[in-house]
Structure formats: C-alpha cells, structure tokens
Amino acid sequence: MSISIKIKKPYPLVALHDALSGPSLNEGKRKFFGQNPLKIGKKAKYVLSIALVVVMLVSIFAFFPKGDQKVPVILPQSTNSSTASPTAVPQTTSQPSPSDPFSQISRFMSGFGDTVAQAVTPRAPGTIESGQIMNSTVWRQVAANAWQYFQPGVGVDSTTGLPNSGMGVPYFTDWDLGVYIQAVLDATKLGLIDINGSWGFNARIDKVLTFLETRELNATTGYPYWFYQSIDGKDYHANSDQSTNLVDGVDTGRLFVALNNIRLFNSSVTPRINNIVYNRSNYSALVPGIYAESRYSTSIYTYYFDSGYASFWPNQLSDATNTILNNIRLAGNVTTSQNVSLPLAAILGDPLLCSVFETSNNSQLMSISYQVYLAHEAYYNSTGQYRAFSEGPSLSTHWTYEWVVLPDNRTWAILDESYNKFDITPIIYTKIAIGFLALYNTTYAYNMCVYLEKNLPPPANGYSDGVDENGAQLSGTGLNTNGMIMGAARYALTNNP
C-alpha cells in the first residue's frame, strides 16, 4: 500500500507541499468542517447544534459580562533571583521565526459542550491566593485540584477508564488520549496516585493500552477513527463518519509524545507501546512527509507533534525538531505595540507550553517561551489588562485560536476555526496563566492566577477554562485545561522544588 501525505496549510502565506499524491494528514478536518480544514460544514453544524441542545437542558446559559477590569489588585509575592519579574520592554532578540500556522488541528469539540457564560461572582481566597508564595505545598495542591477532573465518574469513564474530552462530552480523539496519558504520568510523579491499585498508574495505563491494542480501525485505511466513545471505546460515528481522512497525523503526533514519555518512565510497557505504534497501523508511511515538512516549517505546532514522531523514528527524524527551531530563529522578528520582539512565526500557547512541559527542553525553545511570556506581561504593564492567549472554547459556538504572533506580522491575532478574524473579547485561559506561573513565578503571573481564582468556580472537579477580558466566565471544565495544569505543576516542582 503506497501512502503519501499532502498537508493542508489553512494560512494563505504558507506554501502547500505534496509528498506524492494522497489524502492529507488532516483531510478529516476538511471533511468535517468543510473544504477549509477548519471551516464548519453543514453536517458539523448539525452535530454541534444537537450537542448544544443537550447542554442547554442541563445548564442555564446566561451572559452577564462584568465591567472593565482595568485596575486589578496587585498582591504581594516572593520571587527568588532566578525568577525575578522581567522588564516590560525586553531587549530585541534575533530569535524565532517565520512561517506557517501548520495545518492546525481543531480542538473544536473538546470540552465544548459544557462551556457556559455566567456572571462573575468573586470567590473566597483559592489555593494560590491563600498560599501567597508558590512553594511545593501550594503546587501540589494546584496539581491535586486539576487531578480532580481525571477521577473515575468525573472526566474518566468508571468502567472503561477512557477519558471524556470535557465534562458532559463522552468522546475523545487521539489528542485527548495523549493528554490523559500525560496527566496520569504527571499524577504518578507527583504522588497523587500510586503505581498499583485499582486506579493507580498501572491500572489506568493498562486500560488505555488495551484500548489502543484492540480498538476498531478504519477498514479502508487501517488507521484509527477520528473520535471514539469513552463509554465503550467504540468509534463515535456522529463525528468520525464526517471524515474521509487517511489518518489524523497531528493528533497522532501528540499521542506519540505521551506514549514515549510512558516508555521512558516505565520500560516494562515498552513492548506493548512499540507494537501499537509500529504494527497496528502503518504510521511509518507518514514519516517522509513529516520530514519534508520540517525542512521549512516555522510553526510551534509542527515542532510539538514532530517531537512525538521523532521519538519513535529517531533515525529518520533525528534533526526534524532542531531544524524547525532553526527555521524559527532565522525567520526574523516582529515587534508588538508594547515594543516586545517576537519571532515571526506561528506561535500559539498550547503547543508552546506543552512542548516545554513534555519534551526535551533546549535553549531555543525556552527563549521562545520567555519572549512570549514577556509580551504578555508588557501588555499588562501597558494596558492594566491581564492576558493569557491560547486556544479553546469561547462564549460563542466557535472555537478560539488566540495567536500571539502569525507570520504575516500580526500579533495578538484571534481567529476562529475557519481561520477568519474572530471579533470577540480575548480570553484569559487558566491553563496558560498557571503555566506562566510555573515557568517564571513572577508577580504578574501570580496576580493573574489569583484574579482567575476569584472569578471562576472552585476547582471541585478541576479548573475551569478561563475568563474573558471583560470578566465573563468560561466555566466549562475539560481535559485540555487540567492536563496542562498538571504538567505545569509537575514542571514547577521538578525545577523549583
């Protein structure tokens, strides 16, 4: 069977490339959302409308935006010399880069259903505010709060052990499965679960690996379906049947990052994981196209999922990730209106911080992360408004992509899943705010997290998604938010115990 990759770039400045002829890694996204890989088609709208009706039956949808939050309370915080607050206007660097917001996956359905806008009612002091100083005790409690989402019967099916992408969203993609696997690993390293026990590391990972070893594959392509049901592990036809893709290579790459981390942690499962990756589906056929993409890509998304493939095909992809970072470094810079220099690349919060927390760190990656953080802090110093850009649900029916920078010289660009300008109030995503706190432990990051604690529901079942910059809640609780927070807490405890 001859397989090749044609990767669709939904961004007009990026050249497309064909590695032979054949279905795209993300053709399924094009089918589900329309010809544009992220455009919603009629069938998708129908599916989403049904989901929304179900949601509205179990929750009241009310939107009462809060007044302009321009003068947040500045709370005291201790920082050590290595994490001192950076200057608002950082020095220009010759770093990172240009290019393509890669044929970006849409996390459109993940956790979408339970996002509800509500009036902000300030809360009692939360974990971070009560702790005042981010020591190991506070970080362990933050992790424990996030881990509540992954309890059986909450965000994980109590019979199958498979994750829900969001509260009340009982299905998942390979991307979501990768998030869950990584969360289980982080919880184990943090001592939140034991190795043994009915819901310990071994039991949870065994359920996931058993699913991957036995799940139904597409009879035509031999690759996984796009969506599976958490209740029984079967193909979720309502979504998967809208796709004609050969394979969802982006979600697969994210899954591979997590599976490789499991191999590194517990070598006893290596034979099972290798069998899944090398033998169940012909993933090796994707490697030449992934290598070709890395020659010119300047997308942090591409860097992240290429890391997953490179961990299983180290010879063929030995320099793929470093090449992408070099492409970024050589691509030039753009300056924000707050006079912060950023790489002229496609940079989004989720893949950037996931790369930092889950892959092998290096100076170029950390430099990109730091410049992105500095841009956020400088924005606050200039406007008095908190900012934590990423992707996720919004207060409308659209998925939000908050790009810190795009390769056409735009900064702070907000697009919808069709890559059209999305005229909404920017969202302060909880996962990014806590990620910044884990990385830099600055007063800005601390105060932003306290603001979110005060204006979101207590994390009884995990942290909510965020608050928009007018103060309206995104009170939904999902896998992507809490998975990243788990990684942030583990990073903080590992690097600043």
Lowest mean pLDDT among 114-123, 214-223, 331-340, 380-389: 114-123
DSSP, collapsed to helix, strand or coil, labels residue 485 as helix
pLDDT at 119: 52
pLDDT at 452: 97
Q: With bands split at pLDDT 50, 70 and 90, how would you rate the model's confidence at 406? A: very high
Cβ atoms of 476 and 176 within 8 Å: the answer is no
Residue whose structure tokens are 């029984």:
232
State the chain's mean pLDDT as an integer: 80
The 10s digit of each residue's pLDDT in 225-246 is 999 999 999 999 998 888 877 8
pLDDT at 62: 29
Residue whose structure tokens are 């056409």:
408
Cα distance between residue 359 and residue 353, in whole Å: 10
Cα distance between residue 17 and residue 9, in whole Å: 9
Per-residue pLDDT for 10 more than 60? no
Token couple for 355:
């790369």
DSSP, collapsed to helix, strand or coil, labels residue 148 as helix
Token couple for 408:
């056409």
Per-residue pLDDT for 405 more than 90? yes
The 10s digit of each residue's pLDDT in 421-472 is 999 999 999 999 999 999 999 999 999 999 999 999 999 999 999 999 999 9
Q: Which DSSP category does 215 fall into?
A: -
Per-residue pLDDT for 46 more than 70? no
Q: With bands split at pLDDT 50, 70 and 90, how would you rate the model's confidence at 12? A: very low
Average pLDDT over residues 385-391: 97
Lowest mean pLDDT among 34-38, 133-137, 298-302: 34-38
pLDDT at 81: 31
Per-residue pLDDT for 33 more than 80? no
Q: What domains are defined for the chain?
A: 63-495 (1.50.10.140)
Q: What angle do CA 482, 147, 60 make, to 5 degrees?
A: 60
Cα distance between residue 189 and residue 183, in whole Å: 10
Report the share of the chain in percent with pLDDT over 70.
Answer: 75
Per-residue pLDDT for 198 more than 50? yes
The 10s digit of each residue's pLDDT in 75-117 is 333 333 333 333 333 222 222 222 233 333 333 334 444 444 5
Q: Could you report how far apart the first and last alpha carbons of the chain are, in Å? A: 51
Per-residue pLDDT for 320 more than 60? yes
The 10s digit of each residue's pLDDT in 328-376 is 999 999 999 999 999 999 999 999 999 999 999 899 999 999 999 999 9
Cα distance between residue 355 and residue 372, in whole Å: 14
Token couple for 394:
């919004």
Average pLDDT over residues 51-70: 31
